[in-house]
Amino acid sequence: MSAVEQSGAYAAAFAESVENPERFWLKAAEAIDWVSAPTKALDDSAAPMYRWYPDATLNTCFNALDRHVAAGRGEQAALIYDSAMIGTTRTYSYADLLDEVSRFAGVLAARGITAGDRVVIYMPMIPEAAIAMLACARIGAVHSVVFGGFAAAELAARIDDAEPTALITASGGLEPGRTIEYLPMVARALGLTDNAPATVIVKDREQIPGAAADHGWLDWDTEIANAEPADCVPVAATDPLYILYTSGTTGKPKGVVRDNGGHAVALAWSMRNLYDIGAGQTMWTASDVGWVVGHSYIVYAPLLVGATTIVYEGKPVGTPDAGAFWRVVEQHRVRALFTAPTAIRAIRKEDPDAAELAKYDVSSLVTLFAAGERLDPDTYEWATAKLGMPVIDHWWQTETGWAICANLRGLEPMPIKAGSPTVSVPGYRVQIVDGEGTEVEPGTEGNIVIGLPLPPGTLAGLWRDEERYVKSYLSTFAGYYLTGDSGYIDADGYVFVLGRSDDVINVAGHRLSTGAMEAVVAQHAAVAECAVVGIKDDLKGQRPSGYVVLKAGADIDREVLRKDLVAMVRDQIGAVATFRDVTVVQALPKTRSGKILRKTMRQIADHEDYTVPSTIEDPAVLDALARLLGPGQ
């Protein structure tokens, strides 16, 4: 047994969570107001498909809003919209937010949307995005938010899969120096799908051209002005709250399904025990509602515990400068800030001596949390030195919905080790196994797996695709959930997450599929074969890098080809893919069974040591690549 497992509040909580999960999670469930309280925590009757709180009913929106107003928090700030893009701040009290959400729920109900219906939300970082999500939760509809940086084809793929009855959007989003008009993209997406929803509602933003009427759609403001507020609809704890699509190794995104009950319990538990945030305190998560971090810690978790959340429309730098985050912390008295390491790197690059930080009073800030990618030791050291407070890395995924490994600041703060997200959060039995599924010794790198069942709040499955869920996550090592990450656990029980072991990459905290980019690149008339790998990037952690083999006789200028491919990826996946590098090669290194050696290609491009796999088809191809990309190139 390691040091961290032996003593203290963490050790006791972890032990109880794995030895007596019924007791642990029924106790945690007391933080939620149930319509019908659970008498049982785990239903394992259909293992490996597990369900939490099988006999309970609740409404997530009631827990996020109504109960706080009833308890006298109506006048407290629930949501602060802070737009660095248009220089606006607007505060919604709990009473205001409840009013807006109930009325928008009424709009949806009046259009015939009922419990179980899917609603796609394609919105920028404006309060209406959170209002739409909570309104869905209120009537039991299942929302599926699509990140605004995705292009029409990606939106269409999600509509195809979710088969929504409604789509909620806005006239557009604001990026530094340009506006993103959503309505032409929505129109294009609806043209690409056979499952176009009957109802489209548009929040008009005066900064962006385009209006609902141009397309015969409904206008948010008009609808809400005439709406009758709708009440909360009780749903089963096991009913879906949302579907969130995330990148897998293929081009087809995976629809991660989150339930209502387990989600509410896990998030409320995490606010107290991990983030140390309670009612009346302010948490700011500088992410986007389109990502899981935004779902959990911009929208649901802060509201579930009666805290104040901030919807920030802006960037860490350039809106207007590298002091943007510190300005928000000062202005709204933020206690916990949660961001991606790439944002800290961006601030450091612009303001290495933290001169901007010195201009603001950030004394309200107690902890800086980072996730979305590994917090590299260099960035960790810089942030800790400049802020003089704990900087906490924590590791999780869209699938889990909340942290797998963390330093639990509310439960028992632990010593920080740079480069590690600390220890397994109670409920998660994290282990490292080799290729055969055998647990390895401390300090040995391998596949990071989690013993089943996963705790409440984690994915209930993939939307209407149990087979893919089992194949992708549960079948590689029986009894374990495969995270897709590799790493090791040290002798103290600290977990070190080193990177993905599949073809998923992480660009500026955004999870992207190289397979999806390859599918686009392969469409080019001059391309015979291609591989996209994620290579190191000082600012964004990784960036996609494309390697293409031209068709015999293809005669195309390299720069023309690069521009074509960049434009195609931007058009079909979105600007967020940041696909910019294209290298023409004579051949791609492959195994004898034809599998492209992407990991070896990445190692060569990153100038790392690599071993030539014994299964290689033609070592000369790898040699040629090493000459082209190796050190000194």
Interacting residues with ligand AMP (CB under 6 A): 246, 292, 371-374, 393-398, 421, 484-485, 497, 500, 506, 511
| 344 token code pair | 């800290």
| 137 token code pair | 């939760």
Distance of CA 518 to the CA centre of its chain: 22
Query: Which of 84, 283, 305, 508: binder of ligand COA (CB under 6 A)?
Result: 508
User: Which of the ranges 128-136, 262-270, 409-417, 507-515 carries the binding residues for ligand COA, by CB under 6 A?
Assistant: 507-515
Give the gyration radius of the chain's Cα atoms: 24
User: Which of the ranges 152-160, 340-348, 519-527, 608-616 carries the binding residues for ligand COA, by CB under 6 A?
Assistant: 340-348
Considering only residues 436-475, where is the footprint of ligand COA by CB under 6 A? none
Compute the least distance from the CB of residue 539 to ligand COA, in Å. 6
Compute the least distance from the CB of residue 373 to ligand AMP, in Å. 5
CB under 5 to 8 A by kind: which of ligand COA, ligand AMP, none does 394 bind? Answer: ligand AMP
247-275: string of b/e by CB count within 10 Å (b at 16+)?
bbbebbbbbbbbbbbbbbbbbbbbbbbbb
Distance, in Å, from the CA atom of 470 to the CA atom of 475, rounded to the nearest integer, reads: 6
Considering only residues 257-286, where is the footprint of ligand COA by CB under 6 A? 286
Q: CA dist 112 to 102, 107, 116, 199, 612, Å?
A: 15, 9, 12, 10, 60
Interface with ligand COA includes 170 (CB under 6 A)? Answer: no
Interface with ligand COA includes 149 (CB under 6 A)? Answer: yes
Interface with ligand COA includes 541 (CB under 6 A)? Answer: no
Distance, in Å, from the CA atom of 275 to the CA atom of 269, rounded to the nearest integer, reads: 10
Strand runs (DSSP E) across 271-335, as ranges? Answer: 282-285, 308-313
Compute the least distance from the CB of residue 412 to ligand AMP, in Å. 19
Burial class (CB in 10 A: 0-12, 13-18, 19+), 468: middle
Query: Which of 28, 141, 307, 340: binder of ligand COA (CB under 6 A)?
Result: 340
Interface with ligand COA includes 172 (CB under 6 A)? Answer: no
Contact assessment for residue 325 and residue 286, using Cβ atoms and an 8 Å cutoff: yes
CB under 5 to 8 A by kind: which of ligand COA, ligand AMP, none does 484 bind? Answer: ligand AMP
Compute the least distance from the CB of residue 484 to ligand AMP, in Å. 6
Distance, in Å, from the CA atom of 512 to the CA atom of 246, rounded to the nearest integer, reads: 8
Q: Rank residues 106 and 499 by Cβ distance to ligand AMP and give the closer one.
A: 499
CB under 5 to 8 A by kind: which of ligand COA, ligand AMP, none does 497 bind? Answer: ligand AMP
Other CB atoms within a 10 A radius of the CB of residue 511 amount to 18
CB under 5 to 8 A by kind: which of ligand COA, ligand AMP, none does 485 bind? Answer: ligand AMP
Considering only residues 563-592, where is the footprint of ligand COA by CB under 6 A? 575-576, 578
Q: Rank residues 251 and 484 by Cβ distance to ligand AMP and give the closer one.
A: 484
Distance, in Å, from the CA atom of 102 to the CA atom of 112, rounded to the nearest integer, reads: 15
Interface with ligand COA includes 316 (CB under 6 A)? Answer: yes
DSSP 460-501: -EETT-HHHHIIIIISSSTTEEEEEEEEEE-TTS-EEEEEES
Compute the least distance from the CB of residue 496 to ligand AMP, in Å. 9
Binding residues for ligand COA (CB under 6 A):
148-149, 173, 175, 180, 286-288, 291, 293, 315-317, 339-340, 342-343, 346, 371-372, 508-510, 575-576, 578
